[in-house]
Structure 1
Amino acid sequence: MTKTALFLAALLSATCASAQTVKLQTSEGDIRIELNAEKAPKSVANFLQYVKAGHYNGVIFHRVIGNFMIQTGGYDAKLNQRPTKAPIPLESSNGLSNLRGSVAMARTNDPNSATSQFFINVVDNANLDADVGRIGTGYAVFGQVVDGMDVVDKIRATETAPKNMFFQDLPLKPIFINKAVIEPAKK
């Protein structure tokens, strides 16, 4: 076989391989996220390194806005922030949209500031997508909830209240990610 043929065979094999999934075992039930490493390779690699390190085990959903999104990945029940690795570059111009059930990296006003925090869109939020032609805009979608939207909807319906200037939409009863698990690839 020529090098070109080997390359094409490898590419086809990689394309046909099933996508990686991560199961979030939350205090409200399980959420399965299918990751899109093809369109968001840096975000997926970043997310997986946090999962492998156990970073998400014991964090809470600290921002729940019922008509917008649910956010997690940074704080424990005492609102202590977990240490993070260096931020990653923004991958918002990848063709994926912030629609209901999509999973995206949270960030500050600095486009290249995403670390461990992520959110699940509970409604279509296309306004969070990158502006065509404007570098550094939008929020990078890197996955999609494939099972457990009923759990997401249960979390989004949780009663919230402001705690301080940093936590305006904090659930009154803490909702935990008990464990985040990389599931074996299905063939």
Structure 2
Amino acid sequence: MKFSGFPVARRALMAAAVVGLLASQALVPARAGDAPRVKFATSAGDFVVEVYPDKAPKTVANFLQYVKDKHYDGTIFHRVINNFMIQGGGYDAKYAEKPTRAPVVHEGREALARGGPRNVIGTLAMARTNDPNSATAQFFINVRDNAFLDPSAQSYGYTVFGKVVSGMDVIDKIKATPTGPGGPFPSDVPRTPVLINSATLVK
């Protein structure tokens, strides 16, 4: 007597393998070349950042919505520390803080677990207060490797969600600008304002 279960079992295994393959393909992150890009036109020159929704989806969606809303247009880099980072996206040229939406949930540890970048030179991360879930619109760009900002078991760290892909010479120019007091800030404000004229989704 022939055992008819084997062909059925084999078909079932093949079907399961196909489903598994499709599922694994769905989990493969987008190639770097497919990542959204935003061009910042500043008074110091232009630079382009690439962001990774497959690593930090909520953070990227939040950032891109601010870009689409033109929130960053007319803001300044209000905190510049050479050999550390440059920070902007929250204040206009008169140091008035711009209104924001509700904070985005912190995704630092999740982003790292998904293979996201760390706080190294040229990467883009969200600025926040001591509350890890307080990030809104302000961001910073690392101008050195800042491993102490990375999330860990002991620290929430800062969510890295992108990197500069062109115009790093502009970032180097901004980081080297002379700073001092300005507006409500006692230090680290560029003496010659560095204005973000526009932030535009280019890809």
The size of the alignment, in residue pairs, is 181
Task: After TM superposition, list the pairs within 5 Å mapping 1:134-149 onto structure 2.
Answer: 134=154, 137-149=156-168
User: What is the percentage of aligned positions where both structures have the same residue?
Assistant: 54
Q: Match for 1:46 among 40, 49, 62?
A: 62
Task: After TM superposition, list the pairs within 5 Å mapping 1:90-129 onto structure 2.
Answer: 90-93=106-109, 94-95=111-112, 96-129=117-150
Gapped regions of structure 1 (runs ≥ 5): none
Task: After TM superposition, list the pairs within 5 Å mapping 1:14-163 onto structure 2.
Answer: 15-16=30-31, 18-93=34-109, 94-95=111-112, 96-131=117-152, 133-134=153-154, 137-163=156-182
- Give the helix-richer structure, 1 or 2: 2
Find the aligned partners of 1:13 and 1:139 in 2 and give their Cα distance.
24
RMSD of the TM alignment (CA)? 2.1
Deviations 1:121-177 (A, max 9, x none): 00000110012x23x610100001010110000000100002366352100111111
Find the aligned partners of 2:102 and 2:27 in 1 and give their Cα distance.
33
Structure with the greater alpha carbon radius of gyration: 2
Q: What is the deviation of 1:89?
A: 1.0
Could you state the TM-score of these two structures normalised by the residue count of structure 2?
Answer: 0.82
Deviations 1:90-149 (A, max 9, x none): 111122210000000000000100000000000000110012x23x61010000101011
Q: What is the deviation of 1:11?
A: 2.0
Could you state the TM-score of these two structures normalised by the residue count of structure 1?
Answer: 0.89
